[in-house]
Amino acid sequence: MIQRQGYHSRLKTTPALRRSLAQYAGACRFVWNKVLALNEGRYLAGVPRLNYYEAAWWLTQWRHSEEYGWLAAVSIHALQYCLRDVERAYQNLFAGRTAPPRFRKKFLSDSFRFPTDFQRDGDRLKLPKIGWMRFWKSREIAGAIKNITIRRDGDHWTVAFQAERAVEPPVHPSTSAIGIDLGIATFAAVSDGTLYPPWNAYRRLQTQLAKAQQRAATKVKFSKNWQKCQTVIRRIQATIARRRKDYLHKLSTSISTNHAVIVVEDLQIGNMSRSARGTAEEPGRNVAQKAGLNKAILDQGWGMFRSMLEYKQLWRGGVVLAVNPRYTSQTCPQCGCVSKLNRLQQALFSCIDCEYTSHADVHATQNILALGQRER
């Protein structure tokens, strides 16, 4: 089987190098937004959107024009790969897999990719029209490098190598199967009785982030002091993301290593975290409480956790099954009674019919595991 794996490292940059990387990211962001704007105009006019080849033709015209000639200072391969990303975004939209592509903002989507035209020598990397740079090499890269992605991460720039290699179909060393119930008070409850507490990366730094945002609000926009405040804000936000990802990686690796079959709930996170504000004609109720709940849901990283489990199980020869979460927390595993009254407390399940009691989250995981075994 073909195994694809990413290797992330931080670049060792200088002020001049950071300016060059920012120039590349800005050019790719401009091309992405320009194509989206053209396609929106064509959609309103009833004209088919630009495909990749038509957008590539326009890119050539822009690079040779007087208005957009500055694009010629950036490698054509990075800009072409950006067009491929736009094309892939539209294909995912029409296939019903994702939402429509959105315009990119500075500092929020600063990245670019090279499919070819780069060189690597140990811990050194050469990019076209930029030159050689070093990165922190923490481990060897297994397989052939297919592309690299340069991305801004807070105050730093990182490089991600996507490697591909052929491996024998793996066989998972374990034969056990578990069910996992994701929540807020308990991040993950496992059917074997293990409870993993939430990390709450955002909540831990929420006060610090709010103070930095309040200081930025008092500065003149785009002034030097405003830019310094934005640097602090980006640093805090990057720390939140790294801490959340680190926790999810450690937890998903531990679970994936010890269990061959993992059954999870097929949660519709977008629907669960939708705003309750409503409209002017029909305003919502309990808006502040729902906003706090939405913030807590998104702070957990349930979608990222499931993705990590899926690809790690694929590498190890295991499987991840997703089941409908409906009534899993209200169904009694002993008599099959389904009622809201079975769970009047957050952490206690008590059947009103047969008086069976259990920890609510662990009980839900047993129902999830049973559903997965029936559907497998």
Instruction: Give catalytic residues, as residue numbers.
Output: 181, 265, 361
CA 71, 75, 79, 80 torsion-angle sign: positive
DSSP β-bridge partners for residue 152: 157
CA distance 243 to 202: 9
CA distance 264 to 306: 8
Give the containing element (helix H, strand E) for 66: none
CA distance 227 to 236: 14
CA distance 308 to 92: 21
CA distance 56 to 189: 49
DSSP summary character for residue 221: T
C-alpha distances in Å from residue 293, one per residue of 153, 273, 284 = 27, 8, 15
φ, ψ of residue 85 to 5 degrees: the values are -65, -40
Those residues whose C-beta lies under 8 Å from the C-beta of residue 164, and which sit 6 or more positions away, are: 2, 3, 4, 143, 144, 146
Q: Is residue 263 within 8 Å of 192, Cβ to Cβ?
A: no
CA distance 188 to 195: 6
CA distance 157 to 14: 11
CA 251, 253, 254, 260 torsion-angle sign: positive
Give the containing element (helix H, strand E) for 21: helix 15-44
188 residue type, one letter: A
55 residue type, one letter: A
Half-sphere exposure of 201 (CA within 13 A, CB side): 17
